[in-house]
Amino acid sequence: MKKFLVLIFLASAISFAQSNDEKQLKKVYSTSLLNGQSYAWLDHLSNEIGGRLSGSTNAAKAVQYTKAELEKLGLDKVWLQEVMVPHWERGQAEEAYIMNGSERIKVPICALGGSVATRFGGEEAEIIEVQGLEDLAALGEEKIKGKIVFYNRPMQADVISTFQAYGGCVDQRYGGAKEALKYGAVGVVVRSMSLRLDDYPHTGSMSYGDVAVEDRIPAAAISTNGAELLSAKLKKNPKLTFSFTMHCKQFNDAVSHNVIGEITGSEFPNEIIIVGGHLDSWDLGDGSHDDGAGVVQSMEVLRLMKETGYKPKRTIRVVLFMNEENGLRGGRKYAEVAKEKGEKHIFALESDAGGFTPRGFSFDCSDGNFAQVESWRKLFKPYLIHYFEKGGSGADIGPLKDNQIVLAGLRPDSQRYFDHHHAANDTFDAVNKRELELGAATMTSLVYLFDKYGTVKEKKIKG
Amino acid sequence: MKKFLVLIFLASAISFAQSNDEKQLKKVYSTSLLNGQSYAWLDHLSNEIGGRLSGSTNAAKAVQYTKAELEKLGLDKVWLQEVMVPHWERGQAEEAYIMNGSERIKVPICALGGSVATRFGGEEAEIIEVQGLEDLAALGEEKIKGKIVFYNRPMQADVISTFQAYGGCVDQRYGGAKEALKYGAVGVVVRSMSLRLDDYPHTGSMSYGDVAVEDRIPAAAISTNGAELLSAKLKKNPKLTFSFTMHCKQFNDAVSHNVIGEITGSEFPNEIIIVGGHLDSWDLGDGSHDDGAGVVQSMEVLRLMKETGYKPKRTIRVVLFMNEENGLRGGRKYAEVAKEKGEKHIFALESDAGGFTPRGFSFDCSDGNFAQVESWRKLFKPYLIHYFEKGGSGADIGPLKDNQIVLAGLRPDSQRYFDHHHAANDTFDAVNKRELELGAATMTSLVYLFDKYGTVKEKKIKG
């Protein structure tokens, strides 16, 4: 009988808790949609500041702007964390032509981030199309030497997650130059990582590994329409040449900053939860989806907590990471300092997949913690948040990984992300206000639940 | 023991069926994404034909075009079903001004569909803001007579489903004029049904009920920015006047058509499944989301069945309904003819909520049929289709409702729908190819399952 009564008590306690959680989530979503700040912040970041490549003046402006905005929120602390970042500049706009007998067809290209410039006067050579890194060995130096290698394997359209499709061909962009120069190539041109056929070239990071500077070859992305055209022309005339000019340059590393703000926990101040996105972006657009959206959503998480009158038990930090795109220096620095200080991070959430309608989260955590997350699933149903899966989280929070922390990434609808990713059309007008706000509310809700219930390991110790 | 063996047999039969279903869905999605036709059809419908208001030349062109395209698919039958439709024309572009002392501010308006024109020279009068139909009685004739009524209740932004938010204020548009004229109003202006603040007025149907033609008053929609401005100006000067001119006109009903194509069922040809959208659209944009998307997705369902080599057991029909927007004559006619012929429809699916990323379906059906649908849920998980709820279906298929048929509506992500709905920016560029194709594949998958397994009642009869 006593046991029975205990059960009844537990059941009603659970139902009471449940109802409080429902109320808090409702308040969070309503506040975000009726009285959100994320869209106005993004407007400033995108339209007043613009593209924020690491080491640039704009990146420094974004640091100052977001710090000032966080200070207005009445957080317990706001500070900058210094970090040295790579400093690469595109310089004058790139130009490229397909030289096909008497035809000279201009095609849209852009330098990949980190590429060397073409030599003085530009590069012109025959161009050989391949479907991936693995094709090079078969062709060998005989067929590649002195030529430009054209990587043209497209993203696979029948993969539902566009991130997975991206993962299936980004090796061409990241490692294409390094691989091609082994066979004597004089340059590489990579099909843009996009599922759309259009005229925007998409930049992104690439690496020469430890190849000496003087041996490096220039690497460009070509728009998908340009790639289709080039491929068609090559089929008719394999001897045509490709001519391109790029003026990009690597400078010395520059001083920059992560921007951090926190609400100190009322009960467990030493247990830290972080939510973040990355403040740097590529330079072609204004970085609205990648990752202006994640930045303003993360700031909004703390603002929504204050606005709804929620006082977290644990310390909630927003971290705006510098240099995700071409170095990950901010993410590494944050984890390094956390380790030095012996800080205990229990949960980290990143938003770096665009400001589209949120669908859920991907989790990198123990089974026990994942089971707890699944028990919260029904709370999210009214908001059409349904995706709770194990998987990756976010690049910037990755360095915090240990065997206790729960890492998570927001997972918005991915269908349009690579239409804009790293290209000149990653701009403010491509972000929908409601979709952005729904993402911020969804993140806030998850952070609230982790703050309230902690992670599973901790519960066992305490319980 | 025998029972046990039967169970094993059943379990393996189920698992075999499951695996075939998985394969068929995979094939459907891949074909739609790699080799789809829906986007090219929509391109033609939107960019070569354009807005397709009932009774217009464009609507007639759309009938001929879609019929011709269906004929190319090698269906068993393609035909037109005649239906008389209302014929209303907007005429010369509308104009409106806020007349505030010496200020004369132009604001974007459009006539609501079915409205009478303003009298010769336009209408100018004082304007009184209300938050809904229910405000009028309290104000009474004294405060309304001789004035224009300005309905300004916005869509509620903290409602997650934008369709629900729309439902919460569309009564102002549909019944606003009829209600206002009871109190002697000389015109009505309605805030556009959109959650965005912008300069597009959104049209849509309205009704005077049985009010005599000579007693009708003109009804316009004003853009959301225009509504905000008008409201702000009215707060400072309640005596300002509003001036507007509209040239719209109702003509005699016109001959038009539903377009129908079918694959005749191989086993149960008399059991009919239909999939459809509406071919007519409003006239301001090109009707890409509303409902060009539903039209081409529905055509694609039959094409994908043929393309994947699936031969349906039941008869699968695509029905492109005419006149959903301002009369529903096509939907009514189709149901009427079906009844006359004693046709047995077991399942009807409509896509009329935009060409955005599909999230699932809403079902109007018995509990038994809904349970069957829920048993298919896991088949859709790889495609991130998660929304299976009881609720409405689609306006055009509504007239088919009886106590046996299963009615369903595709439910795409709704966040951006009312940014475009019935406005000049409902255009082809606002539709994403992949999102459209995913919708077509999702519809095809559900139709396939209903074709293969039938509806629940029928199974019991046969079993």
pLDDT in tens, B71-106: 999 999 999 999 999 999 999 999 999 999 999 999
ipTM of the complex: 0.94
pLDDT for B131-156, tens place per residue? 999 999 999 999 999 999 999 999 99
Distance CA A165, CA A155 (A): 5
Cβ of B158 and A30 within 8 Å?
Answer: yes
DSSP reduced 3-state for A437: helix
For residue A457, the model assigns a pLDDT of 73
In the predicted structure, residue A350 carries a pLDDT above the cut 90: yes
Say whether residue A384 is in contact with chain B using an 8 A CB cutoff: yes
Element at A433 (helix H, strand E): helix A433-453
Distance CA A357, CA B102 (A): 45
**Residues A393, A397, A401, CA angle at the centre, nearest 5°?**
85
In the predicted structure, residue B401 carries a pLDDT above the cut 60: yes
Fold of A91-247: Glucose Oxidase; domain 1 (3.50.30)
Cβ-Cβ contacts under 8 Å, A30 against chain B? 158
Chain A to chain B, count of Cβ pairs less than 8 Å apart? 59
Cβ of A34 and B195 within 8 Å?
Answer: no
A374-378, A458-462, B63-67 — which is least confidently predicted? A458-462
How are beta strands A219-222 and A241-245 bridged, if at all?
unpaired
Residues 6+ apart with CB under 8 A from B131: B151, B152, B153
Average pLDDT, chain B: 95
For residue A174, the model assigns a pLDDT of 98
Label residue B53 left, alpha or beta by phi (over 0 means left) and psi (-120 to 50 means alpha).
beta
Whether this prediction's pTM lies above 0.90 is answered by yes
For residue A9, the model assigns a pLDDT of 52
For residue B14, the model assigns a pLDDT of 55
* C-beta separation of B369 from B453 below 8 A: no
Say whether residue B432 is in contact with chain A using an 8 A CB cutoff: yes
Q: How far is B426 from chain A (nearest CA, A)?
A: 15
Q: Which residue in this structure is represented by tokens 């952005």?
A: A436
Q: Which residue of A has its CA nearest to B419?
A: A432
The answer to whether the bond into A291 is cis (omega within 30° of 0) is yes
Fold of A26-86+252-462: Aminopeptidase (3.40.630)
pLDDT for A314-335, tens place per residue? 999 999 999 999 999 999 999 9
Average pLDDT, chain A: 95
pLDDT for B358-369, tens place per residue? 999 999 999 999
Which of B33, B160, B433 lies at the smallest CB-CB distance from A383?
A: B160
Please list the active-site residues of B.
Answer: 324
pLDDT level of residue B461 (50, 70, 90 thresholds): very low
In the predicted structure, residue A1 carries a pLDDT above the cut 50: no
Which of B34, B158, B415 lies at the smallest CB-CB distance from A29?
A: B158
Domain boundaries, chain B: 26-88+252-462, 91-247
Q: What is the mean pLDDT of residues B158-175?
A: 98
For residue B457, the model assigns a pLDDT of 73
In the predicted structure, residue B116 carries a pLDDT above the cut 60: yes
Q: Of A324, A325, A350, A437, which is the active-site residue?
A: A324
Q: What is the mean pLDDT of residues A436-457?
A: 97
A17-31, A72-86, A195-209, B416-430 — which is least confidently predicted? A17-31
A152-161, B23-32, B454-463 — which is least confidently predicted? B454-463
Q: Is A324 a catalytic residue?
A: yes
In the predicted structure, residue A76 carries a pLDDT above the cut 90: yes
What's chain A's Rg over C-alpha atoms? Answer: 24
Which of B30, B196, B419 lies at the smallest CB-CB distance from A158?
A: B30
- Percentage of the residues of chain B whose pLDDT score is greater than 70: 95
pLDDT for A148-188, tens place per residue? 999 999 999 999 999 999 999 999 999 999 999 999 999 99
Say whether residue B381 is in contact with chain A using an 8 A CB cutoff: no
How are beta strands A268-278 and A344-350 bridged, if at all?
parallel
User: Domain B26-88+252-462 class?
Assistant: alpha beta
Which of A384, A416, A438 lies at the smallest CB-CB distance from B359?
A: A384
CB atoms within 10 A of CB B295: 29
In the predicted structure, residue B399 carries a pLDDT above the cut 60: yes
Cβ of B160 and A416 within 8 Å?
Answer: no
Cβ of A359 and B160 within 8 Å?
Answer: no
A76-85, A389-398, A450-459, B370-379 — which is least confidently predicted? A450-459
Q: What is the mean pLDDT of residues B257-286?
A: 98
In the predicted structure, residue A461 carries a pLDDT above the cut 90: no
For residue A118, the model assigns a pLDDT of 98
pLDDT for A404-446, tens place per residue? 999 999 999 999 999 999 999 999 999 999 999 999 999 999 9
A10-24, B248-262, B312-326, B429-443 — which is least confidently predicted? A10-24
What's chain B's Rg over C-alpha atoms? Answer: 24
Q: What is the mean pLDDT of residues B224-236?
A: 98
Cβ of B384 and A195 within 8 Å?
Answer: no
**Beta partners for residue A242, in sequence order:** A98, A125
Q: What is the mean pLDDT of residues A49-74?
A: 98
